[in-house]
Amino acid sequence: MEVEAISQHTSRSFNKDLAGIHNLVLNMGGLVEDQFERAVKAIAEADSELGLGVAESDRQVNEMEMRIDEECRRILATRAPAAGDLRLIVAAMKTITDLERIGDETEKIGKLASRLATVKRPSTNFRELRNLAQHVKGMIRDALDAFARLDVQQGLAVMKADKVVDEEYEAIARQSLTFMLEDPRTITREMDVSWAARALERIGDHTKNICEHAIYMAHGTDIRHTSLKSVESEVRQAGSMKESSP
Amino acid sequence: MEVEAISQHTSRSFNKDLAGIHNLVLNMGGLVEDQFERAVKAIAEADSELGLGVAESDRQVNEMEMRIDEECRRILATRAPAAGDLRLIVAAMKTITDLERIGDETEKIGKLASRLATVKRPSTNFRELRNLAQHVKGMIRDALDAFARLDVQQGLAVMKADKVVDEEYEAIARQSLTFMLEDPRTITREMDVSWAARALERIGDHTKNICEHAIYMAHGTDIRHTSLKSVESEVRQAGSMKESSP
């Protein structure tokens, strides 16, 4: 009876540890989302101060990363997790690396926003860049959602969305080049637009990575460097196997 | 007696597992180094085909990453490593992420090299870019060396070198902008030069990360997001404590 109580206690506190990690990652994701929203607002509203302020919160993001990493290492060392528990820890450690990089890219966007705030704005007020940012923002939210709910379908949807983001980035880069060639006075501005678009494209890549980690966590398969099509068929197969199993 | 033999056997095969991981990471590093060398050669020698060929070997690098990752997960699940053994596994998993990203950036440099091979070359034949590439090449080699020999001092030296690389990158970006403003016919070329310089700067960041993982592995301290000065004093303190301990 006593032994059972202890083992229940151990497993309960272990579960608490695991849920804690899951929550911490989502909290870190929330921080990064806030940071990203401010950077994008700084571009849209030509708010130089807001743009520079983004760097401040990047410190918080970095601290979160180190704290979660330490907690994961502690759990690995003391709990020796296996199967799904181990997958959660590994996925968490990888996800926070991507979140931290999103924070870095967001900090860059903030700096570029503060520079763009001081130049003559094009008549479109950087519409394409703002559109791209909106798409990437949706991807970050959906990727965190996939991570939160271990939702493979949501993860796959984000991975598809990344293709659109890549295309939008290419279009902006081409447009910037055209502007520069047509009117060299726009060179400095359009270089900054290109860098910002590139940073957004990189953030799209990192959210895609987060979905890969979420799918690995939920599904136990490493789908990196695999075509979307074969991932989908694999997930479908695994799903139908589960359904048909007793 | 029998039990001892078994436990010796287990520990021997465990050590073999760990040494295997260490070696695999270094092999993957070697692949990435080769890939990088070819990308840089493609810039220097205006070799379009060589530049495009870099993408080929990126597939190998990606496969290595997944293979090592799987092996690390297997060891975590079956051996439940602790202390230094756990640190090796965690450092390996993080290092291969950085190596894979170096591979990605190198692939980009290869593509840019193949484009740069077709345009009118400046009289300097991209000397600044080639110099930056040489420095980054040295950093990759030294970072892998720090990882191979668990050499904290070497790791710190690479982290210092990254500051120089950042400065060189800034100088190239400024120079490209000046060229474009002075002669708009150089815009397309100089955009590519800027992207290539940026990719080199990112590779510098990743080699710095690898050194951080190597130092964590050797020293047990997470030094990310810490100033170089405080890292050095911490390492010194830990060293003198070791020396004065019985």
B42, B169, B180: which is closest to B112 by C-alpha?
B42
Which of A62, A93, A177 faces B187 most closely, judged by CB atoms?
A177
List, as ranges, residues 9-48 from B with C-beta within 8 Å of A.
none
pLDDT value of residue B244? 45
> Two tokens at A213?
């980690």
Which one-letter DSSP state was computed for residue B123? T
**Cα distance between residue B128 and residue A20, in whole Å:** 49
pTM (two decimals):
0.90
pLDDT value of residue A47? 95
Q: What is the pLDDT of residues B53-65, one digit of tens each?
A: 998 888 899 999 9
Residue A138: CB atoms within 10 Å: 14
Q: Give the relative orientation of helices B48-79 and B83-116 as an angle to the nearest 10 degrees.
A: 170
Which of A66, A184, A224 faces B184 most closely, judged by CB atoms?
A184
Q: What domains, with CATH codes, occur in chain A?
A: 2-236 (1.20.58.220)
Beta carbons of B73 and A94 less than 8 Å apart: no
The b/e string for B197-231 (b: 16+ C-beta within 10 A; e otherwise) is bbbbbbbbbbbbbbbbbbbbbbbeebbbeeeeeeb
pLDDT value of residue B215? 94
pLDDT value of residue A9? 60
Q: pLDDT tens string for chain A (246 positions)?
A: 455 555 566 688 899 999 999 999 999 999 999 999 999 999 999 999 999 999 888 889 999 999 999 999 999 999 989 899 999 999 999 999 999 999 999 999 999 999 999 999 988 899 999 999 999 999 999 999 999 999 999 999 999 999 999 999 999 999 999 999 999 999 999 999 999 999 999 999 999 999 999 999 998 878 787 887 887 877 777 665 544 444
Alpha helices by DSSP H, listed for A80-186, are 83-116, 127-149, 152-182
pLDDT value of residue A25? 98
**One-letter identity of residue A120:** K
**Cα distance between residue B117 and residue B193, in whole Å:** 12
**Which residues in chain A have their CB less than 8 angstroms from residue B225's CB?**
59, 62-63, 65-66
pLDDT value of residue A224? 80
**One-letter identity of residue A187:** I
Split chain B (246 residues) into runs of 10 and give each run's mean pLDDT: 56 90 97 96 95 88 95 93 93 97 96 94 92 97 96 94 95 95 94 96 97 91 79 72 46
- CA A113, A115, A116, A117 torsion: positive or negative? positive
ipTM: 0.88
Q: What is the pLDDT of residues A98-121, one digit of tens each?
A: 999 999 999 999 999 999 999 999
The b/e string for B64-83 (b: 16+ C-beta within 10 A; e otherwise) is bbbebbebbbebbbebbbee
**CB contact, 8 Å: A223 with chain B?**
no
pLDDT value of residue B235? 73
Burial (0-12, 13-18, 19+ Cβ within 10 Å), B144: buried
